[in-house]
Amino acid sequence: MTFDPIFEQPDEFDVLTTGVPSVSPLQTMFAWASEHLRQTRPDGFEVQDIGHLAYDSLPADEREQAFDELLYTYWEASLSDEATLARAAELHTQREELRRLLGRFQDLAESSSPVPYALLADIARLSLPLMGSAS
């Protein structure tokens, strides 16, 4: 593969814009529509109003790309929802098991019985991920 020498070295613009996220026309219009509706309808509006105003305000030649962006965003949100629900179910199961083990720990502690190391290890194993620190 060969490169055009003019593009081998980044120019000042390339250096300045490296890492700056690009913003689509739909994102720009969505932000504008949101602010516009907040100012013109202080009593409230529906989120669909923002989307309709943003989409309708786009030039016709940018609407197809915007529609594709909406479909892609919806798909990504659906996948994110599925992952979030699966994680919530997993955490619920872990919490239930932890409650059971803590109840057993409390019973042993109140009866002055020795607490098995394995019980403490299981409590720690379940507690750390639920607290957000699995290390």
Per-residue pLDDT tens for 37-60?
999 999 999 999 999 999 999 999
Domain boundaries, the chain: 23-58, 64-135
For residue 127, give every residue at least 6 positions away whose Cβ sits within 8 Å of its Cβ, in sequence order, or none: 98
Q: Are 90 and 119 in contact (CB under 8 A)?
A: no
Q: Check residues 11 and 129 and name the one with the higher pLDDT.
A: 129
pTM of the model: 0.56
For residue 91, give every residue at least 6 positions away whose Cβ sits within 8 Å of its Cβ, in sequence order, or none: 130
Can you give the pLDDT at residue 35?
96
Can you give the pLDDT at residue 43?
94
pLDDT class of 34 with cuts at 50, 70, 90: very high
Can you give the pLDDT at residue 21?
80
89/74 Cα distance (integer angstroms): 23
31/47 Cα distance (integer angstroms): 12
Q: Are 54 and 45 in contact (CB under 8 A)?
A: no
Q: Taking 50 as the threshold, does the pLDDT of residue 1 lie above it?
A: no
Residues 76-127 pLDDT 10s: 999 999 999 998 999 999 999 999 999 999 999 999 899 999 999 999 999 9
CA atoms 86, 88, 93, 94: torsion sign: positive
Q: Are 108 and 101 in contact (CB under 8 A)?
A: no
Residues 11-27 pLDDT 10s: 787 777 787 788 899 99
